[in-house]
């Protein structure tokens, strides 16, 4: 997602498993324990599915559009 200071910031697009309801804060806390600080998402978006090409690659341009459309769920 766009970031005023660095140009871009890390965002996570999450498709929750059926029957689970993780919160954005839970995901960020988990990332804090498992990832280097610069890899931790500053924004979390919950989606029903990830947009993909016909060969199964994630369409990052579509994710950018989703982020712009829906705003930031969490900013840490």
Where along the chain do its domains lie? Answer: 2-70
Cα separation, 26 vs 21, in Å, equals: 10
Q: Name the pTM for this structure.
A: 0.76
> Residue 48: pLDDT band by 50, 70, 90 thresholds?
very high
What are residue 8's DSSP bridge partners?
A: 2
H helix runs in the chain, sequence order: 24-34, 60-70
pLDDT given for residue 27 in this prediction: 95
Topology of the domain comprising 2-70 = GMP Synthetase; Chain A, domain 3 (3.30.300)
* pLDDT, the chain, mean: 86
Burial label for 53, CB within 10 Å (0-12, 13-18, 19+), is exposed
* Residue given tokens 């997602």 in the structure block: 1
Residues in the chain: 76
């Amino acid at each position: 997602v766009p970031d005023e200071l660095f140009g871009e910031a890390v965002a996570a697009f999450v498709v929750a498993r059926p029957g689970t309801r993780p919160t954005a804060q839970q995901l960020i806390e988990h990332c804090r324990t498992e990832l280097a600080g610069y890899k931790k998402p500053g924004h979390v978006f919950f989606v029903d599915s990830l947009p993909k090409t016909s060969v199964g690659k994630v369409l990052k341009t579509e994710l950018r559009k989703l982020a712009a459309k829906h705003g930031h769920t969490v900013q840490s």
